[in-house]
C-alpha cells in the first residue's frame, strides 16, 4: 500500500490564478480530510469528505475554496483567484472508517507570488 | 469550542534525560486525544492515542480530565526522538471526524 498520495508536492501560482491540489487516499479508504498549515501554526481542519459527499466543511473559507471527492479519481481541493494569504502547506488524510486513525499524505506546499 | 494548546514551541534536552511535552485541551464533550510526530523529511504519523493506552517507542501519555491535559513523556530521551510533535483532539460525541491540532513542539535531543 503506497500510502496517501498528494500532488503536486510544490505548487507556485501568481495572484489571481487557480490552484488545484490532488489527494489519492490509501487503498480501501473512503474518508478524506483536508487540513491547512500556515507558517508557524498547527494544522487546521478544512473539510471532510466521503465518496461524492461533503460531510463537514466547517473549516473551509466561505469564498474561493471548494473540495470534491468523486466516485472515481482523487479528491480535489480547488482554490480560485489565489491570494498571498493562501500560501501554506495543505495536507490530506484518509481513513477506512469515520473515527479511525487518519493517515496523512506528504502535503502540497502552495506558494502564491 | 475545541482548542489544543502546546505551550512550548521549542524543547531541547540531553540524550538520556527525561522528556515531557505538554498538551492542554479545552472541550466540553467527550474528547479523544492523540500525539502525532513528524520526523525530518517524513510525513505526519500517529504516535499514540489515549484510548489504546499503548507505549510507543518508550513514550506514554495519560489523559487527565481534571487538569484537561495529555502530556507526552519518555523517561530517557534518544537522539532519534528529535522531531516535531503535535497534540490533537477529536470529539467522540461528534463522530470523531475532524482533528484539532496544537501548534506543535519541536523537540531536539542533544548528544
More confident residue, B68 or B94: B68
Cβ distance of B49 and A98 shorter than 8 Å:
no
Chain A CB contacts of B36 under 8 Å are 104
Q: How far apart are CA A105 and CA A74, in angstroms?
A: 13
Cβ distance of A104 and B99 shorter than 8 Å:
no
B81, B29 in Cβ contact below 8 A? no
pLDDT, tens only, B1-20? 789 999 999 999 999 999 99
Say if residue A11's pLDDT is above 80: yes
B19, B85 in Cβ contact below 8 A? no
Where in chain A does DSSP place strands (E)? Answer: 5-7, 10-13, 19-24, 31-37, 43-50, 53-56, 65-68, 75-79, 88-95, 103-104, 108-112
Say if residue A17's pLDDT is above 80: yes
Chain B CB contacts of A42 under 8 Å are 4, 6, 86, 101-104
- Binning pLDDT at 50, 70 and 90, where does residue B96 land? low
pLDDT at A6: 97
- Binning pLDDT at 50, 70 and 90, where does residue A4 land? very high
Say if residue B84's pLDDT is above 80: yes
CA nearest A5: which of A94, A113, A109, A111?
A94
Cell triple for residue B58?
A: 518508550
- Binning pLDDT at 50, 70 and 90, where does residue A96 land? confident
A75, A22 in Cβ contact below 8 A? yes
Give the number of other CB atoms < 10 A from CB of residue B54.
12
Mean pLDDT of B81-96: 86
Mean pLDDT of all residues belonging to chain B: 92
Q: What percent of chain A has pLDDT over 70?
A: 97
- Binning pLDDT at 50, 70 and 90, where does residue A67 land? very high
pLDDT, tens only, B61-76? 989 999 999 999 999 9
Alpha-carbon torsion B88, B90, B92, B93, what sign?
positive
Amino acid at each position: 500500500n503506497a500510502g496517501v498520495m498528494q500532488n503536486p508536492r510544490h505548487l507556485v501560482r501568481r495572484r489571481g490564478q487557480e490552484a488545484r491540489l490532488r489527494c489519492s487516499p490509501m487503498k480501501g479508504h473512503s474518508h478524506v480530510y483536508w487540513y491547512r498549515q500556515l507558517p508557524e501554526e498547527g494544522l487546521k481542519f478544512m473539510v471532510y469528505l466521503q465518496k461524492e459527499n461533503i460531510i463537514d466543511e466547517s473549516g473551509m473559507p466561505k469564498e474561493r475554496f471548494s473540495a470534491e471527492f468523486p466516485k472515481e479519481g482523487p479528491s480535489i481541493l480547488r482554490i480560485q483567484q489565489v491570494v498571498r494569504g493562501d500560501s501554506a502547506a495543505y495536507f490530506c488524510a484518509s481513513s477506512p472508517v469515520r473515527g479511525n486513525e487518519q493517515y496523512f499524505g506528504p502535503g502540497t506546499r502552495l506558494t502564491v507570488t | 469550542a475545541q482548542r489544543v494548546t502546546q505551550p512550548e514551541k521549542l524543547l531541547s534536552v540531553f540524550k538520556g534525560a527525561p522528556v515531557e511535552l505538554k498538551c492542554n485541551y479545552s472541550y466540553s464533550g467527550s474528547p479523544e486525544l492523540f500525539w502525532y510526530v513528524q520526523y525530518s523529511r517524513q510525513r505526519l504519523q500517529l504516535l499514540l492515542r489515549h484510548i489504546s493506552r499503548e507505549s510507543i517507542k518508550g513514550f506514554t501519555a495519560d489523559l487527565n480530565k481534571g487538569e484537561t491535559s495529555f502530556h507526552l513523556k519518555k523517561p530517557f530521551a534518544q537522539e532519534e526522538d528529535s522531531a516535531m510533535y503535535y497534540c490533537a483532539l477529536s470529539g467522540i460525541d461528534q463522530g470523531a471526524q475532524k482533528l484539532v491540532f496544537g501548534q506543535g513542539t519541536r523537540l531536539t535531543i542533544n548528544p
